[in-house]
């Protein structure tokens, strides 16, 4: 390889593509050529760096300078000032929303500083389309060790020692799962990777696939050797075209290098992988449903036992693991289980990737050691709540998770501790909600999701969630009656105890956790016909309180129908005839003057 003075690691993940990294890339290339720097300065498109909200982002190596929100127009200044004259451009650096300080280096930015990056270790550092760069970062070394020096028992022993638990939601110990499948007797066995990533608000799997596809393949090969499987499938959602493209390329390259296929590394062990595209059904993330879907049928869960370790895909012993789980495996082989287990809590070892989003300053993906507190995650890494609003709740665990209020923010993230406060770790979606979020509305939102995604096989799940949704809709429309809240609780218990799969068994969690912590909000809706967070349209009056109105006119500008009447130095008022209740004026008003 020829030497370059600087490497510009430009993010080419889905998020940054959407915010314009391609046009910036073109402008940058043109400008580097213009200045005759194309040999000295190399631009490399990486996968997602994690700080997508500030995209497009770029890291200048070896200096470690981090640029954000780059636009095509910035290319000329960057090249001229930084890459030619050596004066980094302050204007394009990160500015901390809390301290208001400009920060040049990636590792001083709080969002990155508290992270511990293992599963995402190559994000932003390598070209995901180059197998050589992956290998240069110790890639496939763990696999080589597993294939040439270790027996099936050794591999499983090492994974058990690491304490690794499944990152797809349930947190089942990975080594134990592999152990079961290893014991099953069969000529054909399968290793599957769950890249369906159905939980809304979580995007770590996508990010790992886009930034480091070989890490997932490496994990699958090791799993295959552990259970003696010959064929693998990656079940990836169609909504992730870039991930599918990079995975296909990775598979092709690995085959070229003899790292996939027959007789890998001359070890006598053979294994191959294909991609299977999902077709958009949340329930297909459930393991037995996923297997049916690969078989070409409707993705409906089936009762267990028999467990997939004995009867899985096409009735053969099968192991299914999540993307993030598999991304950890290669490093565990290389560094040993003890190394992995040295981080975390008693019951939850290693690191976990979280997708922090919602009403929070620093939106993105973070990887932290298990045991860190929610507070630290939300305030130190996430930078707290924007717009001077107050924290209200944090929702963990996707649609079947729960909402955690302020008083439990010191809970350490750990499978058991999170469960104690009524949520679940799930796949790691962390959605922060400020005081403008209505908890009844959120419960309704999750129930709408679940109701639509229920496969319909069990009556309690199918009918029960529909009933819950109807009641929640009624309450948020101001038609709540005494007894509704109690009915919600009863229905929830029935659904939980009589559903076949994880979807139904956890479906009522959003309702139960909001009822538990925010019961007063339900009461306000039912008994006072009032929405304290002012979110439920039917309960709003759409009038301006002249005492609170600061006469700023923001509502006037926001209104699409001309229903807001306002003149300079006059308080606003709303014409109910013209108002379409779109809420734009609410969102615009900084003074809570609209009721």
Partner 1 sequence: MAATDKLQHPDVTPEMIREIDDIIESQKNAPGAVIPVLRMSQDVVGYLPVEVIDYISAGLNIPSSDVYGVATFYSLFSLTPKGRHRIRACLGTACYVKGIKEVMGRISKEFDLEVGGTTEDRRFSLEAVRCLGACGLAPVVVVDQDTYGGISADQVSGILEKYE
**Does 552 participate in binding ligand SF4 (rule CB under 6 A)?**
yes
**Does 558 participate in binding partner 1 (rule CB under 8 A)?**
yes
Rank residues 35 and 498 by Cβ distance to ligand FMN and give the closer one.
498
Burial 167-187 (b: 16+ CB within 10 A, else e): bbbebebbbebbbbbbebebe
**What residue 321 binds from ligand FES, ligand FMN, partner 1, none (CB within 5 to 8 A, per partner kind)?**
ligand FMN
Is the C-alpha dihedral spanning 159, 347, 168, 176 positive or negative? positive
Is residue 290 within 8 Å of 235, Cβ to Cβ? Answer: yes
**What residue 306 binds from ligand SF4, ligand FMN, ligand FES, none (CB within 5 to 8 A, per partner kind)?**
none
**Does 11 participate in binding ligand FES (rule CB under 6 A)?**
yes
Rank residues 297 and 550 by Cβ distance to partner 1 and give the closer one.
297
Is residue 21 within 8 Å of 10, Cβ to Cβ? Answer: yes
User: What single-letter DSSP state applies at residue 307?
Assistant: P
Tokens read off for 43: 């631009």
**Does 20 participate in binding ligand FES (rule CB under 6 A)?**
no
**Does 458 participate in binding ligand SF4 (rule CB under 6 A)?**
yes
**Considering only residues 74, 129, 218, 286, which one is a binding residue for ligand FMN as defined by CB under 6 A?**
286
- DSSP labels for 443-474? HHHHHHHHHHH--S-SHIIIIIHHHHHHHHHH
Is residue 459 within 8 Å of 436, Cβ to Cβ? Answer: no
**Considering only residues 197, 417, 434, 441, which one is a binding residue for ligand FMN as defined by CB under 6 A?**
197
**Does 299 participate in binding ligand FMN (rule CB under 6 A)?**
no
Rounded to whole angstroms, the Cα distance separating 521 from 440 reads 7
What is the smallest separation between the CB atom of 292 and ligand FMN, expressed in angstroms? 12
Q: How many other CB atoms sit within 10 Å of the CB of residue 141?
A: 15
Rank residues 320 and 409 by Cβ distance to ligand FMN and give the closer one.
320
Kindly indicate which of the ranges 183-191, 194-202, 269-277, 355-363 contains the residues binding ligand FMN, using the contact rule CB under 6 A.
194-202
Site string for ligand SF4, 95-114 (x = CB under 6 A): --------------------
Site string for ligand FES, 170-209 (x = CB under 6 A): ------------------------------xx--------
**Does 426 participate in binding ligand FES (rule CB under 6 A)?**
no
Q: How many other CB atoms sit within 10 Å of the CB of residue 33?
A: 11
**CA 212 from centre of chain:** 16
Kindly indicate which of the ranges 34-42, 290-298, 303-311, 493-501 contains the residues binding partner 1, using the contact rule CB under 8 A.
290-298
Site string for ligand FMN, 480-509 (x = CB under 6 A): ---------------------xxx------
Tokens read off for 263: 């007789």
Kindly indicate which of the ranges 9-17, 91-99, 110-118, 268-276 contains the residues binding ligand FES, using the contact rule CB under 6 A.
9-17
**Does 455 participate in binding ligand SF4 (rule CB under 6 A)?**
yes
**Considering only residues 15, 168, 278, 369, which one is a binding residue for ligand FES as defined by CB under 6 A?**
15
Q: Total number of residues binding ligand SF4 (CB under 6 A)?
A: 44
Tokens read off for 287: 């393991």
Kindly indicate which of the ranges 321-329, 352-360, 459-467, 480-488 contains the residues binding ligand FMN, using the contact rule CB under 6 A.
321-329
**What residue 11 binds from ligand FES, partner 1, ligand FMN, none (CB within 5 to 8 A, per partner kind)?**
ligand FES
Rounded to whole angstroms, the Cα distance separating 507 from 557 reads 41
Burial 298-311 (b: 16+ CB within 10 A, else e): ebbbbeeeebbbbb
Q: What share of the chain is helix, strand, coil (3-state, %, to 5)?
A: 45, 15, 40
Site string for ligand FMN, 157-176 (x = CB under 6 A): ---------xxxxx-x----
By DSSP bridging, strand 102-103 and strand 94-95 are antiparallel
Tokens read off for 59: 């890291």
Site string for partner 1, 332-371 (x = CB under 8 A): -----------------------x-xxx---xxx------
- E-strand ranges in 245-291 read 272-277
- E-strand ranges in 14-109 read 41-46, 58-61, 65-67, 94-95, 102-103
Q: How many other CB atoms sit within 10 Å of the CB of residue 68?
A: 18
Cis peptide before 128 (omega within 30 of 0): no
Site string for partner 1, 438-467 (x = CB under 8 A): -------xx--x---x-x------------
Rank residues 184 and 204 by Cβ distance to ligand FES and give the closer one.
204
Rank residues 220 and 501 by Cβ distance to ligand SF4 and give the closer one.
501
What is the smallest separation between the CB atom of 168 and ligand SF4, expressed in angstroms? 16
**Does 264 participate in binding ligand FES (rule CB under 6 A)?**
no
**Does 389 participate in binding ligand SF4 (rule CB under 6 A)?**
no
CA end-to-end distance (rounded Å), the chain: 65
User: What single-letter DSSP state applies at residue 387?
Assistant: T
**Does 49 participate in binding ligand FES (rule CB under 6 A)?**
yes
What is the smallest separation between the CB atom of 407 and ligand FMN, expressed in angstroms? 29
From 282, 291, 304, 564, select the one nearest 426 (Cα to Cα). 282
Burial 272-295 (b: 16+ CB within 10 A, else e): bbebbebeebbbbbbbbbbbbbbe
Is the C-alpha dihedral spanning 463, 464, 465, 471 positive or negative? positive
User: What single-letter DSSP state applies at residue 577?
Assistant: T
**Does 301 participate in binding ligand FES (rule CB under 6 A)?**
no
Contacting positions for partner 1 (CB under 8 A): 14-15, 17-19, 51-53, 55, 197-203, 206-207, 238-240, 276-282, 293-299, 314, 355, 357-359, 363-365, 395, 398-399, 429, 431, 433, 437, 445-446, 449, 453, 455, 558, 560, 580, 582-584, 587
């Amino acid at each position: 390889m020829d030497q370059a003075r600087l490497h510009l690691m430009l993010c080419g993940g889905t998020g940054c593509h959407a915010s314009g990294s391609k046009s910036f890339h073109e402008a940058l290339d043109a400008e580097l050529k213009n200045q005759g720097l194309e040999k000295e300065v190399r631009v490399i498109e990486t996968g997602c760096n994690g700080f997508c909200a500030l995209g497009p982002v770029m890291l200048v190596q070896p200096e470690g300078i981090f640029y954000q929100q780059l636009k095509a127009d910035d290319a000329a200044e960057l090249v001229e000032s930084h890459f030619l004259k050596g004066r980094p451009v302050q204007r394009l650096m990160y500015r901390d929303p809390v301290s208001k300080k400009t920060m040049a280096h990636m590792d001083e930015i709080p969002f990155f500083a508290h992270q511990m990056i293992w599963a995402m270790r190559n994000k932003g550092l390598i070209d995901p389309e180059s197998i050589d760069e992956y290998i240069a970062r110790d890639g496939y070394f763990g696999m080589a060790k597993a294939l040439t020096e270790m027996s099936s028992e050794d591999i499983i022993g090492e994974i058990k020692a690491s304490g690794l638990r499944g990152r797809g939601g349930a947190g089942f110990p990975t080594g134990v799962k592999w152990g079961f499948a290893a014991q099953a007797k069969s000529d054909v066995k399968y290793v599957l990777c769950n890249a369906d990533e159905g939980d809304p608000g979580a995007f770590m799997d996508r990010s790992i696939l886009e930034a480091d596809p070989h890490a997932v393949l490496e994990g699958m090969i090791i799993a295959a050797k552990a259970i003696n499987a010959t064929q693998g499938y990656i079940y990836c959602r169609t909504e992730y075209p870039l991930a599918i493209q990079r995975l296909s390329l990775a598979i092709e390259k690995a085959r070229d290098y003899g790292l996939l296929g027959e007789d890998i590394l001359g070890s006598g062990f053979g294994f191959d992988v294909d991609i299977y595209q999902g077709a958009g059904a949340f329930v297909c993330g459930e393991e037995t449903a996923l297997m049916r879907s690969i078989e070409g049928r409707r993705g409906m869960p089936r009762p267990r036992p028999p467990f997939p370790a004995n009867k899985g895909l096409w009735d053969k012993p099968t192991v299914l693991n999540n993307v993030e789980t598999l991304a950890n495996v290669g490093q565990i082989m290389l560094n040993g289980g003890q190394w992995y287990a040295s981080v975390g809590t008693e019951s939850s070892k290693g690191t976990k990737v979280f997708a922090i989003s919602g009403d929070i300053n620093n939106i993105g993906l973070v990887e932290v050691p298990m045991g860190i507190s929610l507070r630290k995650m939300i305030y130190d890494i996430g930078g707290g709540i924007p717009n001077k609003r107050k924290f209200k709740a944090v929702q963990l665990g996707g649609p079947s998770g729960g909402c955690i209020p302020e008083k439990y923010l010191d809970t350490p993230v750990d499978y058991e501790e999170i469960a104690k406060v009524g949520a679940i770790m799930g796949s790691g979606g962390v959605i922060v909600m400020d005081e403008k979020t209505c908890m009844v509305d959120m419960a309704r939102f999750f129930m709408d999701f679940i109701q639509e995604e229920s496969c319909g096989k069990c009556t309690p799940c199918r009918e029960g969630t529909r009933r819950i949704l109807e009641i929640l809709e009624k309450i948020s429309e101001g038609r709540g009656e005494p007894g509704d809240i109690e009915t919600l609780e009863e229905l929830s218990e029935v659904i939980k105890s009589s559903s076949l799969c994880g979807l139904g068994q956890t479906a009522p969690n959003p309702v139960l956790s909001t009822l538990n912590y925010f019961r007063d909000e339900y009461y306000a809706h039912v008994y006072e016909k009032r929405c304290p967070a002012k979110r439920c349209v039917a309960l709003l009056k759409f009038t301006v309180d002249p005492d609170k109105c600061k006469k700023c006119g923001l509502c006037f500008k926001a209104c699409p129908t001309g229903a807001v009447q306002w003149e300079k130095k006059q308080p606003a008022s709303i014409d109910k005839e013209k108002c379409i209740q779109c809420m734009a004026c609410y969102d615009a008003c900084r003074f809570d003057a609209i009721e």
